[in-house]
Amino acid sequence: MLSWALTFLIIAIIAGVLGFGGIAGAATSIAKILFVLFLVLFVLSFIAGRRRG
């Protein structure tokens, strides 16, 4: 999931440099959502792993 977030971030950077503002904005939004989702799942996984021992 983190790799997808990084991929969309790179797409957003390239689109921004080339002047495609709409695509850059959409890719940035997707990258933010995926990164937050990755963080939430990581924390939940960490907590579940600590509970098991």
For residue 4, the model assigns a pLDDT of 86
pLDDT for res 14: 93
Residues sharing a CB contact under 8 Å with residue 8, sequence separation 6 or more, in sequence order? 27, 28, 30, 31, 34
- pLDDT exceeds cutoff 80 at 53: no
pLDDT at 1 over 80: no
First and final C-alpha spacing in the chain: 26
Per-residue model confidence as pLDDT tens digits over 12-44: 999 999 999 898 899 889 999 999 999 999 999
Domain boundaries, the chain: 2-52
